[in-house]
Chains A and B, each alone.
Chain A
C-alpha cells in the first residue's frame, strides 16, 4: 500500500516533457465513464443518505420531514446502538486479533518448517485448506454453521447428547453463548486470509538475513523477533487494516446466524442500520447509524494508515 512508486524522475528530454505536458489534458476523456458511474452510484447516494439522516421518514410517498440532528441525538441515548459497537469490538477480536496471531503462527510453521522439512506440496495443500472458507459466500457458510449450532437438530448438539451431555447449550439462542459462537465462526471464516498473505511475506524475506543471523548464533526465536517481524511489517499492516474494516462492516453472518439476537447480544451496527431501514421503516434513523459507522471506519483506516507511514518513516531514518 505504501509502495505506490513515486514517479521516477530521470532527466527528461525537452521533447518528451513538451509532449507530456501538451497531451496530459487529453487523458481526461478516459475518466469520464468512470466519473459518471462513480457519481451516480457512490457520491449521490452518499449525499442523499446524509440528507435522510437529518429527516424523519418512513420511506413511503410522504416526503421526508427535516428534523436536524435529532436522529444523532437519539442515537446517543439508544442502548442498542452502543451494544452494536460493543459487538464490533468482539468482531475485531474474532476477525483481526485472533486471525492475525494464529495466521502468523500457521504461516511460519508452514513456511519455515513444513515446507522445508517435508515437502512444499504439503505446505501448499495445508494452506489451501485454511483458505477454503474464504472463497465461500459468507452467507452460505453462515447457513451451514447455523445448522451445525442449531440447538435441537444441529450436528454439534446431537453429538454432545450422544456422548452423554444431557442438556447441551442453545449455542445461538442464549445470551451467554451466542456472541462467542458467532466469534468462533468468524475466526473459521477469516483465518485463511492472513495465512496466505503472511506466507507470501515470508517468501519475500531475504534468506541471507537469516544466514547472517545464524552465523551470529541467533536462535529461532531471536531470528523471528529481530528479522521476521520487522521484515513483514508492511503485510501485517495491510492485514490489520483490511480485517478491521471487514470486522466493522460484518453483516451477512449476523443476518443468517442470529439476526442480532438474542436480546441484541449479537447486534452489529450494519445490521442495526438495516433493521431500521427495512423492517422498521425508520429510514432517517437507519441512515444516521450508517453514517456513524462510515465515520468510524474512515477514522480507523486513517489511524492505521498513518501509524503505518510513521513506522515506515522511522525505519527509513533508522537506516
Chain B
C-alpha cells in the first residue's frame, strides 16, 4: 500500500470520536464473554453465588482449574489434540504439494475437472461420510485411535490445499522449469529444489491453517474417538456439559484452558494468518 488516500472530509473532531467510540463498543461486546470467562474461572462457587459474574474474585481461587484438569485428564487431551493436528498439518501439506505439482505444474489431462472435484469435496457436509468412515475404521481396527482421525483430516484438509496450491502453481514461471530440465534435473528434484522453495511460504501458511482447523474440529472426532483417553480438547470440554461437577468456576476454567492454545497460536501467527485468509479469498 504505497499510497494511501486521505479524504479531506469529516474534519470535525467530534464525529471522528463518535465513530471510534462505536468501533470500540463493538470490540468490547466481542470481548465481554472472554472477560467474564477469565473473571469467573478464578472465583469460588460461593463467591459467584453471592456476588455474581461481574465482580472481580475476592480470592484467587484455583480449585475450578484443578477440578477440570483432573476430571478430564487435561494434559492427555492436550497431547491428543496436538498429536492429531500436527500430523494432519504435515501429511495434508505433503499431499497437497504432490497433488498440486501434478495439477498445476504438470497440467495433467483433466486437471481443471480434478481441481473442481477437490473443491466440491471441500463443501460436503461431514455427515454424508461419517457412518461409512465409522464402519471402515472398525473394520480395520482403527476405531477409537488417533490414526482414524488423522487419515480422514489429512484427506479433507488436502482437498482445500490442493485447490489453493494448484492455482498458485498454475502461474509458476515456466522458464524456471525449463532451466531445471536443461540442467538435467528430473521431476522429483525439480519439485523439491525448484518448485517447493518458491511456494514454501504458502505451504507454511497452509500448515498453520490445517493445524488450527483440525484442532477446532468437532463432529468427526466426536464420532470416531469414543473413549475419554483418545478424545481431543473440544470434545472433552463439551462432554462434561451437564455434569454436576461443572459449576460456574469449573466451566469457565475449562473454557479458559481450552481456549488458551488457540489464542496463543493466533497471537503467534496473527500476521501470516491474516495473509492466509486473504490469499484464500482472492485465489
Query: Does B199 interact with chain A (Cβ within 8 Å)?
Result: no
Query: Does A74 interact with chain B (Cβ within 8 Å)?
Result: no
- Which B residues are in CB contact (< 8 Å) with A109? 19, 22-23
* Binary interface encoding of chain B residues 254-282 relative to chain A, with 1 for a CB under 8 A from any of its CBs, else 0: 11001100110110001001100110011
**A287 to B134 Cα, complex, angstroms:** 13
Say whether A41 contacts B216, CB under 8 Å: no
Say whether A128 contacts B128, CB under 8 Å: no
Say whether A293 contacts B95, CB under 8 Å: no
- Which B residues are in CB contact (< 8 Å) with A142? 238
- Could you tell me the dominant secondary structure of chain A's interface residues? helix
- Which A residues are in CB contact (< 8 Å) with B281? 197, 200-201, 235, 238-239
**A1 to B10 Cα, complex, angstroms:** 36
Query: Does A129 interact with chain B (Cβ within 8 Å)?
Result: yes
* Binary interface encoding of chain A residues 39-78 relative to chain B, with 1 for a CB under 8 A from any of its CBs, else 0: 0111011101100100000010000000000000000000
- Which A residues are in CB contact (< 8 Å) with B278? 196-197, 200
Q: A30-B102, A188-B33, A293-B127 are in contact. Are A1 and B219 (CB under 8 A)?
A: no
A126 interface neighbour in B23, B52, B258, B266, Cβ under 8 Å: B23
Say whether A248 contacts B258, CB under 8 Å: no
* Binary interface encoding of chain A residues 125-146 relative to chain B, with 1 for a CB under 8 A from any of its CBs, else 0: 0101110110111111011111
Say whether A211 contacts B5, CB under 8 Å: yes
Query: Does B79 interact with chain A (Cβ within 8 Å)?
Result: no
Taking the closest CB of chain A, its distance from the CB of B244, in whole angstroms, is 12
Query: Does A251 interact with chain B (Cβ within 8 Å)?
Result: yes
**Could you say which of A90-98, A173-181, A273-281, A310-318 contacts chain B?**
A273-281
**A44 to B133 Cα, complex, angstroms:** 9
- Which B residues are in CB contact (< 8 Å) with A269? 125
**A145 to B48 Cα, complex, angstroms:** 17
Say whether A140 contacts B259, CB under 8 Å: yes
* Binary interface encoding of chain B residues 1-30 relative to chain A, with 1 for a CB under 8 A from any of its CBs, else 0: 101111111100000100110111011001
User: What's the interface size class on A, roughly?
Assistant: 35 or more
Query: Does A11 interact with chain B (Cβ within 8 Å)?
Result: no
* Binary interface encoding of chain B residues 134-171 relative to chain A, with 1 for a CB under 8 A from any of its CBs, else 0: 01100000000000000110111011001000010011
**A172-215 residues at the B interface, CB under 8 angstroms:** 188, 191-193, 196-197, 200-201, 203-204, 207, 210-211, 214
Taking the closest CB of chain B, its distance from the CB of A277, in whole angstroms, is 5
Query: Does A104 interact with chain B (Cβ within 8 Å)?
Result: no
Query: Does A164 interact with chain B (Cβ within 8 Å)?
Result: no
A114 interface neighbour in B20, B135, B265, Cβ under 8 Å: B20
- Which B residues are in CB contact (< 8 Å) with A203? 1
Taking the closest CB of chain B, its distance from the CB of A60, in whole angstroms, is 11
Taking the closest CB of chain A, its distance from the CB of B280, in whole angstroms, is 8
A196 interface neighbour in B5, B98, B129, B277, Cβ under 8 Å: B277
**A202-237 residues at the B interface, CB under 8 angstroms:** 203-204, 207, 210-211, 214, 219-220, 234-235
Interface centre among A140, A245, A283 (most CB of B within 10 A): A140
Query: Does A255 interact with chain B (Cβ within 8 Å)?
Result: yes
Query: Does A89 interact with chain B (Cβ within 8 Å)?
Result: no
Interface size on B, residues (CB 8 A): 106
Taking the closest CB of chain B, its distance from the CB of A170, in whole angstroms, is 15
- Which B residues are in CB contact (< 8 Å) with A146? 241
- Which A residues are in CB contact (< 8 Å) with B132? 44-46, 48-49, 52
* Binary interface encoding of chain B residues 206-236 relative to chain A, with 1 for a CB under 8 A from any of its CBs, else 0: 0000001001111100110000000001110
Say whether A24 contacts B167, CB under 8 Å: no
Say whether B127 contacts A45, CB under 8 Å: no
Taking the closest CB of chain A, its distance from the CB of B106, in whole angstroms, is 3
**A105 to B83 Cα, complex, angstroms:** 40
Taking the closest CB of chain A, its distance from the CB of B259, in whole angstroms, is 6
Q: A27-B101, A31-B108 are in contact. Are A153 and B127 (CB under 8 A)?
A: no
**A145 to B273 Cα, complex, angstroms:** 25
- Which B residues are in CB contact (< 8 Å) with A298? 120, 123
Say whether B27 contacts A126, CB under 8 Å: yes
Taking the closest CB of chain A, its distance from the CB of B37, in whole angstroms, is 6
Say whether A210 contacts B162, CB under 8 Å: no
Interface centre among B37, B124, B219, B247 (most CB of A within 10 A): B124
Say whether B103 contacts A277, CB under 8 Å: no
- Which A residues are in CB contact (< 8 Å) with B215? 137
Query: Does A79 interact with chain B (Cβ within 8 Å)?
Result: no
The chain B residues found within 8 Å of chain A, CB to CB, are: 1, 3-10, 16, 19-20, 22-24, 26-27, 30-31, 33-34, 36-37, 40, 48, 52-54, 95, 98-99, 101-103, 105-109, 114, 118, 120-121, 123-133, 135-136, 151-152, 154-156, 158-159, 162, 167, 170-171, 174, 178, 181, 187, 191, 212, 215-219, 222-223, 233-235, 237-238, 241, 247-248, 251-252, 254-255, 258-259, 262-263, 265-266, 270, 273-274, 277-278, 281-283
A-B contact pairs, 28 of them (CB 8 A): A24-B106, A24-B108, A30-B102, A30-B106, A30-B187, A34-B158, A49-B129, A118-B16, A135-B216, A136-B216, A136-B263, A137-B233, A140-B237, A142-B238, A159-B52, A188-B33, A197-B281, A207-B3, A245-B123, A248-B125, A251-B219, A274-B130, A277-B131, A283-B131, A290-B127, A293-B128, A297-B123, A297-B125
